[in-house]
Structure 1
Amino acid sequence: MAEISGPSNGHHSVPLNIKDEPTPLTATEPLDCISVPFIQKLIAEVLGTYFLIFAGGASVVVNLSKDKVVTFPGISIVWGLVVMVMVYSVGHISGAHFNPAVTIAFATTKRFPWKQVPAYVIAQILGSTLASGTLRLIFNGEEDHFSGTLPSDSYVQTFVIEFIITFYLMFVVSGVATDNRAIGELAGLAVGATVLLNVMFAGPITGASMNPARSLGPAIVSRQFKGLWIYIVAPILGAISGALVYNTIRFTDKPLREITKSASFLRGQSRSGSH
């Protein structure tokens, strides 16, 4: 039976059975041992995706409704912050996927059970659709703006960019969430920062979805399906590719102490633990 270990934080690593538990974006050792009922994981995915899409979508709608008061950099920051906050909030419960592409990529690399993928994907799409519906109810009339993603003039350009930025996101997620040599406590910060960076440069072109659920929810509520297939196919392919590529550089013959001895964060922990 394959196992992965939670991040080392100065204590021993605790094995995590990948057939029974999702890959968490913030794994802490005491919680790795706790079996969370599957229904609780699904509820966490619904709530996490709901707040993710609600906050991010609201920043878009408010910016369009209130004379660009949020600004585009502000929108990027909102998306990055809400991802970070929700990863730290429910990552120890459901794994904090909030994204069908991430769930499928984890399953492809055998870090998540395939039998749970359909339920996770449905929960994520449900959360996104409910959030988009809430925004549609709150902002109506002249304030009713589409909070989803639309392709640029070139479908090829949109597809390639969505593939690359999702590859980048999943590569980072694989590094901070599945490799026990990484500093797991910083996973939420790293993933949120990656989302912020991607939205900053790709948002004006594609909307920087990186997430089929993020595009599906607003599209269903507003019935705008232009180029929707791109935001389903490209992120899934990008996420799978990112996870597979990280796996090619994951393994090493070097001992853990040699890999981490130059990490200032770990050295600081060691010094503080010796006093």
Structure 2
Amino acid sequence: MANTPSITEEISSNFSPTKSSTIVEVSPKLPLPTKFSIMQEDKAKRSREISINDDIPPSNLQKLNIDTVAELVGTYFLIFAGCGAALVNKVQTLTIVGIALVWGLVLMAAIYALGHISGAHFNPAVTLALAAARKFSWKLVPMYLLAQLLGATLASLTLRALFHDQGNIQATMTQYKDSTSDLEAITWEFIITFILMFNICAVATDHRANKHLTGVAIGATVLFNVIIAGPITGASMNPARSLGPAVVSGVYKNLWVFIIAPILGAMAATLVYSILRVPKPGKLEENTQSMYNELYIHPEV
């Protein structure tokens, strides 16, 4: 027991000068080495500032301008391809099935291309019906309608210039024969627009629906509507689609049918679907929501 070191001696021996050689002293005055140089750190700081600025959302006016341009471009694509197919049919027979395929496919493509920007309405009847159902802001309606009508008119002007050898573009117009009464034409346009808008409400504005196939479902709806009603009324379903060619060709016969019937059909569809709609759990439904992009919300302007 006499040779056993005490606890005090053991602790002092651990910190004796002979064993302290393993301890490395670091002067607090010496700067720690950095991974990046000063220039690299400055460049990284600037890139962080740029990324922060990129995250700043556009103003309400900028957003409205972007949406308006998207609606104009999308409506232009729709009318150019769809009405263009009717003019091509006079050169090379496409049949009603071929024309219907063009209408359905171009709408599907436009939805996927521009739906996340403006909601991809491309149709005054759709815009008015969504606003009436409080799924879209009324403040945005005038600019959307103007963009859609302008897009349809510009597309019709382009087609007249490209198919000048045909003399006119009356083949692109939505007309019905004298054997078809005004009431029958209104009924046809009301029903096919109702079907279109009902499907839009189901696949694009309902949180329970699968949004990935929205464009396919709506494009297919237009396709079979054109096959069924195209030979009878031209299957407008869209006031802009009828107004654009009418303005360019200067023929306004029965145009009121293709303005009133689609609007009434679209509004009736939103009213009927509202009965089937279930509020999203945990959240109140937004009253300025659009379509085709999981109810893209438009800010109030």
Task: Name the TM tier (shorter chain).
Answer: 0.7 to 0.9
- 1:221 is aligned to 2:248: yes
Residues 61 and 144, structure 1, Cα contact 8 Å, conserved in 2: no
Q: Which runs of 5+ in 2 are unaligned?
A: 1-56, 283-301
* CA deviation map 1:2-25 (0-9, x unaligned): xxxxxxxxxxxxxxxxxxxxxxxx
Residue 173 of structure 2 corresponds to 148
Residue 276 of structure 2 corresponds to 249
Q: 1:253 to 1:229 in 2, by over 3 A?
A: closer
Q: Residue 150 of structure 1: CA displacement?
A: 0.7
Residue 115 of structure 1 corresponds to 139
The correspondence for 1:232, drawn from 252, 259, 267, is 259
- 1: CA distance, partners of 2:166 / 2:156: 17
The correspondence for 2:120, drawn from 96, 108, 113, is 96
5 Å-filtered alignment, 1:31-180, equals 37-66=63-92, 68=93, 70-142=94-166, 144-146=168-170, 147-153=172-178, 154-180=181-207
Residues 61 and 143, structure 1, Cα contact 8 Å, conserved in 2: no
- 2: CA distance, partners of 1:254 / 1:51: 37
Residue 192 of structure 1 corresponds to 219
* CA deviation map 1:35-87 (0-9, x unaligned): 67110100000000000000001100010133x2x221100000000000000
Residue 27 of structure 2 corresponds to none
Residues 64 and 145, structure 1, Cα contact 8 Å, conserved in 2: no
TM-score by length of 1: 0.77
Secondary structure, aligned partner of 1:228? coil
Secondary structure, aligned partner of 2:256? helix
One-letter code of the match for 2:77? F
Q: Residue 144 of structure 1: CA displacement?
A: 3.5
* Max Rg structure: 2
One-letter code of the match for 2:193? T
- 1: CA distance, partners of 2:280 / 2:161: 56
Alignment identity in percent? 54
Residues 207 and 280, structure 2, Cα contact 8 Å, conserved in 1: no
TM-score by length of 2: 0.71
Residues 61 and 145, structure 1, Cα contact 8 Å, conserved in 2: yes
* CA deviation map 1:230-255 (0-9, x unaligned): 00000000000001101111127999
Residues matched between the structures, number:
221
